[in-house]
Amino acid sequence: MNTQEFYTNMKTEQDKIRENIQKIKNRIVVFSGKGGVGKTMMTINLAYELSKKHKVGILDSDVTAPNIPKMLKIKDELRVKDEKIIPVEHKGVRIVSSGFMAKENDAIIWMGPLRSKLINQFLSDVNWQDTEYLLADLPPGTGDEVLTITQSMKPNIAIIITTPQEVSLGDARRAIAMAKKMNIPHIYLIENMSYLKCPNCGAKIDLFGEGNTRKLSEETGVELIGEIPLDIKVRKGTDEGKIGVLEFEESEFSQKIKKATEKILEVSQ
């Protein structure tokens, strides 16, 4: 392939992505500067809370560590119909993930260009039908896949997930800087594992500190829309494939997620 053919193919691919993805009015990317902050769990719960009133899709764009099928205990496979990939539907939410393409516990050892190519195919060749909200669960950090999907998806909302720990906040700061450079119109912070309620007396326990994410919000001008508690029932339920906002609707965890989605709805197109 010569240089001209390469750029022609690239333009054709980008045109397909633009045509396919722009049918979805609200495109949301969920960032985390580092792993281990509960980004995927937050993506799932935000998506299923939104799905109570809207048609929602999840794009699991962490190609080498696709955790969404595992967390939801889904063992389905992607299908193709009329040359379009059909998302797996689970409790009303449409999901696409490389986890549906590999056997459980298989390692997906792909170089960066291949991972980016698959992400672009998910954006251009998936039949999202009448999806109103598409949430992309991004890999941790600010690497190739994150850049690929934010450039191609052109999201109107970015949500940065952090915990109150200083090391996590430093990485969240870098994720905020990237979201701003990508000119994403609405950028928000969610603090996960914000506190724990004592199961015996109900006292609030700040396991990882207090007020640090609020300070980051003030310094960066990025609104903090959720301080989500660590809930033992929700955590145990997640290990069993249960979704917090569906199984424990009255919990403080679910109420905080609901409040965060109200902000998303407020700025939706």
Q: Which residues contact 217 (CB under 8 A, 6 or more apart)?
A: 189, 223, 224
Q: Name the more confident of 106 and 174.
A: 174
User: In the prediction, which pLDDT does 15 show?
Assistant: 83
Q: Does residue 14 lie in a domain region?
A: no
Residue 170 domain flag: yes
Q: Please check the confidence at residue 102 and state whether its pLDDT lies above 70.
A: no
Q: What is the pLDDT of residue 77?
A: 86
pLDDT given for residue 34 in this prediction:
73
The mean pLDDT of 170-186, rounded to a whole number, is 93
* pLDDT above 50: residue 144: yes
- Asked if the model's pLDDT at residue 141 lies above 80, the reply is no
Would you state the structure tokens that stand for residue 8, as one six-digit string? 């022609």
Domain ranges, residue 175: 26-266
In a domain, 17, yes or no: no
Q: Look at the chain and report how many structural domains it folds into.
A: 1
Rounded to whole angstroms, how far apart are CA atoms 126 and 80?
Answer: 9
Residue 5 lies in a domain: no
Average pLDDT of the residues in 246-255: 96
Q: What is the pTM of this model?
A: 0.90
- Tell me, yes or no, whether 128 lies in a domain: yes
Strand partners, 191: 162, 227
Using the predicted structure, report yes or no on whether residue 108 has a pLDDT greater than 80: no
Buried b (16+ CB within 10 A) or exposed e, 189-216: bbbbbbbbbeeeeeeeeeebeeebbeeb
In this predicted structure, the answer to whether residue 96 has a pLDDT above a threshold of 80 is yes
Amino acid 197 reads K
Which residues are paired to 31 by β-bridges? Answer: 160
pLDDT at 101: 77
Across the chain, mean pLDDT equals: 87
**C-alpha neighbours within 13 Å on the C-beta side of residue 157:** 28
Q: Position 206: which residue type? A: D
* CATH number of the domain that residue 48 is part of: 3.40.50.300
Is residue 269 scored above 90 in pLDDT?
no
Q: Which amino acid is at 112?
A: G
Angle between helices 112-125 and 3-21 (to 10 degrees): 40
On whether residue 3 sits in a domain, the answer given is: no
What is the token pair recorded at 89? Answer: 């539907």
Which span out of 44-58, 67-81, 106-120 was modeled with the highest average pLDDT? 44-58
Judge whether residue 111 has pLDDT over 60.
Answer: no
pLDDT given at position 6: 40
Q: What is the pLDDT of residues 13-69, one digit of tens each?
A: 778 888 888 889 999 999 887 778 999 999 999 999 999 999 999 999 887 778 899
Does residue 11 sit within a domain? no
Has residue 2 been placed in a domain? no
Q: Give which of 66, 74, 76, 75 is closest to 40, Cα–Cα.
A: 66
